[in-house]
Amino acid sequence: MTIKTVTIPKISCGHCIGTIERELGELKGINSAMANKDNKTVAIDWDETIVSWEQITTLLEEIGFPVEG
């Protein structure tokens, strides 16, 4: 398992949090995803043998929440 916290500047409301957490939660291999509006971060826990970091960041870009950096 891998855990990483990333900055996503476009997080601005509860709807953003719900979208990010729901979409990541539907991706096979994601154990948890917790978004924080105040810090504009998402903590993601995933299984690298099932899903790659590239797949995760691609999904976030596709739903309109690209990772900073």
From residue 52, alpha-carbon distances to 21, 36, 38, 47, 55 in Å are: 17, 22, 27, 8, 5
CATH, residue 43: 3.30.70.100
Q: Is there a domain that residue 54 lies in?
A: yes
Q: Is there a domain that residue 27 lies in?
A: yes
pLDDT of residue 58: 97
- The whole model's pTM is what? 0.93
Q: Evaluate if residue 69 carries a pLDDT over 90.
A: no
SS (H, E, C) the chain: CEEEEEECCCCCCHHHHHHHHHHHHCCCCEEEEEEECCCCEEEEEECCCCCCHHHHHHHHHHCCCCCCC
> How many domains does the chain divide into?
1
Q: Is there a domain that residue 67 lies in?
A: no
For 21-68, the pLDDT digits (tens) are 999 999 999 999 999 999 999 999 999 999 999 999 999 999 999 999
Q: Is there a domain that residue 68 lies in?
A: no
Q: Is there a domain that residue 58 lies in?
A: yes
pLDDT (mean) for 10-14: 96
17 is in which domain, residue-wise? Answer: 2-62
